[in-house]
Chain A
């Protein structure tokens, strides 16, 4: 059974917490990585690599720059 959006959000929150120290509960769909969560471009790469390991979906660098919000990443992972 495919992972639900809630499952992916929880997994993403855990990854972001491990990489940046931001509480997982702050990682909600409407948040912008740069403006709300203050995550820099290199941490975004680390998050993309960890998300690939976790969800099996590759997020290439040329796509990564278009993913501005948590919801953008959730949608990308869900295809």
Chain B
């Protein structure tokens, strides 16, 4: 038996993203439920979000974001040998999204699987992609987070409808002489599985807001610090902190406890809502597009959500 040439490191070559065109403002929501702009902004920090129309699927959004990341990387479809889609909001369980997305992008017979770690999904998929590239099982991996939360939300329930949204973000991962993706720190708290659930096919997504908020604001900053420690990076060296865009108050609470004083804090939720597994690559891609983060800087990404699950790692911004 022999092992192929093993890459000393893996890095992100490029990001891409896609958002549906339709903007839903807080005023729009106030027309159909007991809420208003001030109520929503003070509790979750969201001003507007994007919602995909009935004909636009998770796979559609994933394909566009993945195609953009691939184009930005300068690679051709034939260079990609693994596609991972992180999602928890497919319309049906079978087939998976990744094989369809790969086919639509002209990627010929790659490995293709989906990851369901809810809002932590992108960081799980990125950690897996990094390990796969360094282990020699794939050379280039297309990692996509794509969600259509709007089809799992009760649009009369203000505790969830004001938060969740649709979108997709993607990253191309490839080999590198020096590491550009740090060790992933991941874990779960299955004792709190009931905190975020879709009970069955007849039910919408339900969230125990206080339980999730308490967990997110007390249990996750140690994970963030551990991801920095394992990458050998001080929080003060981070140029960006991009946690899952769950709720602006959670984002700011974790950022405060992390103490990354020189980092830009992602606040993409304000205009994009909570897009679960899509939120981190979506935020990073948009921050790059707006010139808010610089190529070569270090960013800490931290996903967390249903399960409960969490994962984070330090990355070099492409």
Q: Is the beta-carbon distance between B218 and A42 smaller than 8 angstroms? A: no
A34 to chain B, nearest CB (A): 13
Interface of B is mostly: helix
B35 to chain A, nearest CB (A): 12
Give residues 56-71 of A contacting B (CB, 8 Å).
61, 64-65
B152 to chain A, nearest CB (A): 22
Q: Is B42 an interface residue (CB 8 A)?
A: yes
B92 to chain A, nearest CB (A): 34
Q: Is the beta-carbon distance between A41 and B209 smaller than 8 angstroms? A: yes
Given A40-B42, A40-B43, are A46 and B211 also a contact pair (CB < 8 Å)? Answer: no
Q: Is the beta-carbon distance between A61 and B214 smaller than 8 angstroms? A: yes
Query: A45 vs B208: C-alpha distance in the bound complex, in angstroms?
Result: 12
Query: A61 vs B195: C-alpha distance in the bound complex, in angstroms?
Result: 11
Query: A53 vs B117: C-alpha distance in the bound complex, in angstroms?
Result: 31
Query: A55 vs B217: C-alpha distance in the bound complex, in angstroms?
Result: 19
Q: Is the beta-carbon distance between B208 and A42 smaller than 8 angstroms? A: no
A17-47 toward B: CB 8 Å interface, digit per residue (1/0)? 0000000000000000000000011101110
Q: Is B221 an interface residue (CB 8 A)?
A: no
Q: Is the beta-carbon distance between B42 and A61 smaller than 8 angstroms? A: no
Q: Is the beta-carbon distance between B210 and A46 smaller than 8 angstroms? A: no
Give residues 178-215 of B contacting A (CB, 8 Å).
208-211, 213-214
Interface residues of B (CB under 8 A from A): 42-43, 208-211, 213-214, 217-218, 247, 249, 253
List, sorted by A's number, 9 A–B pairs whose CB atoms are closer than 8 Å.
Answer: A40-B43, A41-B209, A42-B209, A44-B210, A46-B253, A48-B214, A49-B214, A64-B210, A65-B210
